[in-house]
Amino acid sequence: MSAAVLAGASSLMTEQPSNELRSNELPSRRVSQQRLVGRLMEMARIGATVSGGVDRAALSAEDAAAQALMAQWGASLGLRATRDAAGNFFLRWEAGAGAPLVSGSHLDSQPTGGRYDGVFGVIAALEAVQAMQETGLAPRRPVEIVAWMNEEGSRFAPGMMGAAVYGGARALADILPVRDQAGISVEAALASTAAALPGIATRPLGGTPYAYVEAHIEQGPELERAHCPIGIVSGIQGKHTFRVTVRGEAAHAGTSTRAERRDALLAATAMVQALARVLHDEADVTKFTVGRFDVTPSAPSVVASQVIFSVDLRHPDSQELRRLSALVAPACEAAAGPCEVEVSRLSAADSLAFPAAMRARLRAAADRLGLAHRDLLSAAGHDARYLHPICPSAMLFVPSRDGVTHNEAEFTEPADLYAGACVLADVLAELAMSTGQP
Amino acid sequence: MSAAVLAGASSLMTEQPSNELRSNELPSRRVSQQRLVGRLMEMARIGATVSGGVDRAALSAEDAAAQALMAQWGASLGLRATRDAAGNFFLRWEAGAGAPLVSGSHLDSQPTGGRYDGVFGVIAALEAVQAMQETGLAPRRPVEIVAWMNEEGSRFAPGMMGAAVYGGARALADILPVRDQAGISVEAALASTAAALPGIATRPLGGTPYAYVEAHIEQGPELERAHCPIGIVSGIQGKHTFRVTVRGEAAHAGTSTRAERRDALLAATAMVQALARVLHDEADVTKFTVGRFDVTPSAPSVVASQVIFSVDLRHPDSQELRRLSALVAPACEAAAGPCEVEVSRLSAADSLAFPAAMRARLRAAADRLGLAHRDLLSAAGHDARYLHPICPSAMLFVPSRDGVTHNEAEFTEPADLYAGACVLADVLAELAMSTGQP
């Protein structure tokens, strides 16, 4: 055994105690359910829909208002708000030295989204920081709360845009020209957000966190069915996304014959049906979704000249996902009839597994709090996907009623939100005080 | 033979000469191709698209601007502009007495429409009136140029709204609450148009014209293929339209299983394909079109909760049309899967035949001018459909290059536009001078 290895081992041994906080140092004791839920409900007023949900598109005025509210809450705790060139928003607790411990999620929502998806992870991180401060902890490293830009991908496709740029998986130059349905580019929307909040300083893009922990609602029914408040996320299901552009020719609905027509809508609907057939699996593991289907010119008496539709394809087995992914373009081409079709793959993320050590920390924290937990795979994509390659990352889930998310009816019991924030606070405190590897 | 019948016969005999203008009274000699095409091109600047077409939605600012231009041209000819409560726009040549002779079409266009559809019939009527004035004709009855509100039906469904209300087929109260995709009602859009043009007086709704003649581009290739400048429209193909509402449930694309999903988009695409199958006819006579397909919430990673799509179904045989129409709802219901579907029939117009006497007038006028003509059925619907039940009505067509319409590439040769306006002018002059039945 070399001296270097011995030194390493010794250093690990001496650090061990610093990872374990004394019970009176555990910030979960200071986590406030009332404050946590109160902030969530206050945030839900920004972009509130009549049906009780939230419509807070990435880089919209509502998104900026949500950041302003976070900045205001952060200021009262001495946290400094900054934003990077990709529109990621940070609240930094300046402490200790070295790489920051980062925790958060996103503030944007689906067009008819709920009150918890994304925002819970951001506000729970804020709650954790406040609880750590009230416990009197002096972190060994800076702690940053983050709201990643455009996780949802409904205004600008694909999603997880800000996290992907931060983590280096995508270049900033790639996302800036992406446009929404109104023709507004990410670049222009970033400028609007910056203009709406001139008080928030710019920070350099990217970085290498010490570790990253993200709390999120489960986007499925598993925890609720198991009566289990805490999910330890083993990994994230792989996801490939596509944009399919079908080009036909506009024609009069009353005069053009079937033989003359190049009906983009008829071809596109045939493609969607063909994809459903070719991607069908008896076991019902594959997830295939066409969520957008935009018709041009979209008039009842005009044969459609163009349809652009989205394909979202997921499978926990990366190899099977790649096999299914390769079927998409041929299936569309075979159903194109007299139209032209162009299939563009927008993203291709394999399935991933979070480090065992990070998962063990979450599990231990839940055990210490007497909270039931279970391991589960995230079928949904999360920003943590893009942090995983650059730093030790982990995710914890809390239940979502009936597994309903991306829906205005989304709901999580206050007690479960509180449980999740407690586990997050204790794990963040451990990581903030740790001197060795996460 | 009774005295009354004898009197009628005698009156017909004495009127006969008044129907035949002397050759130096034929206004076609004064029709100007340059003026006609110049006005068409000036009008095409209102709502011009970058691809050379026109986007002039019903009751839009562009539609109002088009009316303003018509009012300005009319004023220089002593014509008075008025608008009725259904948004139909009139230019009246006050002359003679009794029921007015009406001619026109519409100024609204499809979102990516052309420069001729509708507007040709309005500007050709103006050209005819100007030519009649320059010929020194003193009409025995008022002559009205009309632009019917919302013929296209792409902003507010269904189309031919203004003509249907004028003709009594629909009640004004039925159309006022109809909303466009932005949620704006016909009532509000009518108010905006009225506010944009305060100088245009209101006139009573409805009326019974002496006769109605509409010039229009053919929306098919028949005249061009036959090298024939004039189409004598025998009638209009029947048309039934539907709105199909498919209701499912929003869900997360990554987590909800196929078994759990109620995917409105998957169901709606299955319905469109099922309709294409069940309405398929080998002879290719049936016209089946789904031109609109609106998805909610329309996000790539959200299972669609709702799709609303349009069905436009036409067939020249009214009985066959009714048979096919009855298949629409059952086909949609059979393909609904776990979703709910509601099929609403928005309109159900049978095929119609224009009066032989009116068609004979058009034929005679074309013969006198040495213009080749042929009879054809209008596969497309036109405002004349709703004038036909209330007064003797007729339509003439001019060719459209490659049969392309409802398309920015729409084009008619200036010589053909001129030929159509000449026939229209002579027939309108005859009808304006006639003392008996049209």
CA distances from B174 to A299, A371, B106, B153 (A): 21, 60, 20, 15
DSSP code, position B114: -
B91 φ, ψ (degrees, to nearest 5): -120, 120
CB pairs under 8 A between A and B: 248
- In angstroms, the CA B252 to CA B275 distance is 29
Enter the tokens of residue B183. 């949620």
Q: Report the gap between the CA of A40 and the closest CA in chain B (Å).
A: 21
DSSP bridge partners of A344:
A243
A179 φ, ψ (degrees, to nearest 5): -115, 150
Evaluate whether B292 touches B317 at the Cβ level (below 8 Å): no
- In angstroms, the CA A247 to CA A221 distance is 40
Q: For A255-272, give one letter per residue: b (16+ CB within 10 A) or e.
A: bbbbebbbbbbbbbbbbb
Q: What is the pLDDT of residue B261?
A: 97
B300 interfaces chain A, CB cutoff of 8 Å? yes
Q: What is the mean pLDDT of chain A?
A: 93
Evaluate whether A394 touches A213 at the Cβ level (below 8 Å): yes
Q: What is the pLDDT of residue A191?
A: 97
- A397-408 pLDDT per residue, tens: 999 998 888 889
- In angstroms, the CA B35 to CA B314 distance is 37
**The pLDDT of residue A16 is above 50:** no
Contact between chains at A265 and B272 (C-beta distance less than 8 A): yes
User: Comparing C-alpha atoms, which of A163, A164, A328 is closest to residue A240?
Assistant: A328
**The pLDDT of residue A111 is above 80:** yes
In this prediction, residue A9 has a pLDDT band, given cuts at 50, 70 and 90, of very low
**Greater model confidence, A20 or A410:** A410
3-state secondary structure of A84: coil
Among B154, B256, B257, beta carbon nearest to A300: B154
- In angstroms, the CA B233 to CA B228 distance is 13
Contact between chains at A110 and B302 (C-beta distance less than 8 A): yes
B219 interfaces chain A, CB cutoff of 8 Å? yes
**The pLDDT of residue A57 is above 60:** yes
Per-residue pLDDT of chain B (438 residues; tens, 9 = 90+): 333 333 333 334 333 334 568 888 899 999 999 999 999 999 999 999 999 999 999 999 999 999 999 999 999 999 999 999 999 999 999 999 999 999 999 999 999 999 999 999 999 999 999 999 999 999 999 999 999 999 999 999 889 999 999 999 999 999 999 999 999 999 999 999 999 999 999 999 999 999 999 999 998 889 999 999 999 999 999 999 999 999 999 998 988 899 999 999 999 999 999 999 999 999 999 999 999 999 999 999 899 999 999 999 999 999 999 999 999 999 999 999 999 999 999 989 889 999 999 999 999 999 999 999 999 999 888 999 999 999 999 999 999 998 888 889 999 999 999 999 999 999 999 999 998 889
Inter-axis angle of helices B61-76 and B33-44, to 10 degrees?
Answer: 150
Average pLDDT of the segment spanning A283-299: 96
Q: Report the gap between the CA of A9 and the closest CA in chain B (Å).
A: 42
- In angstroms, the CA B173 to CA B189 distance is 14
Q: Report the gap between the CA of A141 and the closest CA in chain B (Å).
A: 35
Instruction: State which residue of chain B sits closest to A378, comparing Cα positions.
Output: B255
In this prediction, residue A146 has a pLDDT band, given cuts at 50, 70 and 90, of very high
User: Comparing C-alpha atoms, which of A365, A377, A193 is closest to residue A285?
Assistant: A377
Instruction: State which residue of chain A sits closest to B236, comparing Cα positions.
Output: A254
Among B256, B304, B312, beta carbon nearest to A253: B312
Q: What is the pLDDT of residue A22?
A: 85
Q: What is the pLDDT of residue B13?
A: 39
- In angstroms, the CA A263 to CA B217 distance is 22
Q: Omega before A330 cis (within 30°)?
A: no
Largest CA distance in chain B: 87
Contact between chains at B269 and A269 (C-beta distance less than 8 A): yes
Evaluate whether B265 touches A295 at the Cβ level (below 8 Å): no
3-state secondary structure of A112: coil
- A177-218 pLDDT per residue, tens: 999 999 999 999 999 999 999 999 999 999 999 999 999 999
- In angstroms, the CA A52 to CA A36 distance is 19
What chain B holds in terms of domains, given with CATH numbers, is 21-237+351-433 (3.40.630.10), 240-349 (3.30.70.360)
Partners of residue A60 in chain B, C-beta under 8 Å = none
Enter the tokens of residue B240. 């039934």
DSSP bridge partners of A228:
none
Residue B280 marked in a binding site = no
B266 interfaces chain A, CB cutoff of 8 Å? yes
Percent of chain A exceeding pLDDT 90 equals 88
- A230-255 pLDDT per residue, tens: 999 999 999 999 999 999 999 989 88
Average pLDDT of the segment spanning A107-129: 97
In this prediction, residue A19 has a pLDDT band, given cuts at 50, 70 and 90, of low
Partners of residue A288 in chain B, C-beta under 8 Å = 258
User: Comparing C-alpha atoms, which of A190, A243, A222, A189 is closest to residue A375?
Assistant: A222
Partners of residue B180 in chain A, C-beta under 8 Å = none
3-state secondary structure of B95: coil
Helix (H) or strand (E) holding B430: helix B414-433
Residue B413 marked in a binding site = no
Average pLDDT of the segment spanning A301-311: 96
- In angstroms, the CA B104 to CA B93 distance is 13
| Cβ under 8 Å to B: A residues 59-118 | 110-112
- In angstroms, the CA A273 to CA A280 distance is 11
